[in-house]
């Protein structure tokens, strides 16, 4: 893991003797982008992260760290009863239009009637654009699936599975692209 972390050319932590921990400060635009994607899917797969990395010009590793911290923060804050920090994750992670429907509601999808809630549920549960279905395990292996697994053990995954089956209308690939388009299109002017 520590291999990809150093993207030397990045600029900041190039190789300044003391590899202490040079804290980087994300720009507003970058944060905006990250938060938007986070709202859509707190558990982005590698593809999403890489895409985000390109769009924001932030090393993928940093993005991963950012998401980790973000999740941790969220769990901490939403720890009133203390129990089940996850249960809500599947929600926010899956129903991107739900949490997102703020500034960038996708014109095409956003208006998807009452159906939308169930559709995106799987998309994010899977987390990967090109992941047909968790159980299908297409070679590549979907990170999103794994991500969902941990708490899925508690039974959440079953919900996803039952939800995703009856929702074939939208092509997941396109859907995630739409997510991205709506998430990114707004501010791609970082680079």
Q: Which spans of this chain sit near DNA (rule: CB under 7 A)?
A: 1-2, 5, 19-26, 31, 43-46, 49, 62, 64-73, 75, 85-86, 89, 137, 139, 141, 143, 145-147, 149-150, 153
Cα dist. 44→12, 116, 141, 167 in Å?
25, 19, 14, 21
Q: Which is nearer to DNA, 137 or 166 (CB)?
A: 137
Q: How far is the CB of 100 from DNA (least distance, A)?
A: 18
Q: Looking up tokens 């797969």, which residue turns up? A: 45
Cβ 172 to DNA shortest distance, Å? 17
Asked if 6 and 12 touch (Cβ cutoff 8 Å), the reply is no
DSSP calls for 64-124: HHHHHHHHHHHHHHT-SS-S-SSTHHHHHHH-HHHHH-SS---TTTTT--TTTTHHHHHHH
Shortest reach from residue 37's CB to DNA, in Å: 12
Q: What are phi and psi of 108, to 5 degrees?
A: -80, -45
Q: For DNA, give the closer residue by CB, 27 or 165.
A: 27
Closer residue to DNA (CB): 106 or 180: 180
Closest distance to DNA from the beta carbon of 66 (Å): 5
Complex with DNA: residue 70 or 112, whichever CB lies closer: 70
């Amino acid at each position: 893991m520590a291999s990809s972390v150093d993207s030397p050319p990045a600029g900041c932590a190039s190789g300044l003797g003391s590899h202490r921990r040079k804290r980087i400060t994300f720009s507003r635009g970058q944060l905006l982008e990250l938060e938007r994607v986070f709202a859509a899917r707190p558990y982005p797969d590698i593809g999403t992260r890489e895409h985000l990395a390109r769009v924001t010009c932030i090393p993928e590793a940093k993005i991963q760290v950012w998401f980790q911290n973000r999740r941790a923060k969220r769990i901490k804050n939403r720890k009133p009863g203390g129990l089940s920090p996850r249960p809500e994750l599947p929600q926010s992670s899956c129903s991107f239009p739900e949490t997102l429907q703020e500034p960038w509601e996708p014109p095409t999808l956003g208006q998807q009637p009452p159906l939308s809630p169930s559709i995106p549920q799987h998309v994010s549960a899977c987390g990967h654009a090109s992941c047909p279905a968790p159980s299908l395990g297409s070679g590549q292996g979907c990170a999103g699936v794994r991500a969902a697994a941990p708490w899925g053990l508690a039974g959440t995954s079953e919900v996803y599975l039952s939800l995703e089956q009856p929702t074939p209308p939208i092509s997941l690939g396109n859907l995630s692209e739409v997510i991205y388009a709506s998430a990114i299109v707004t501010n791609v002017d970082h680079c």
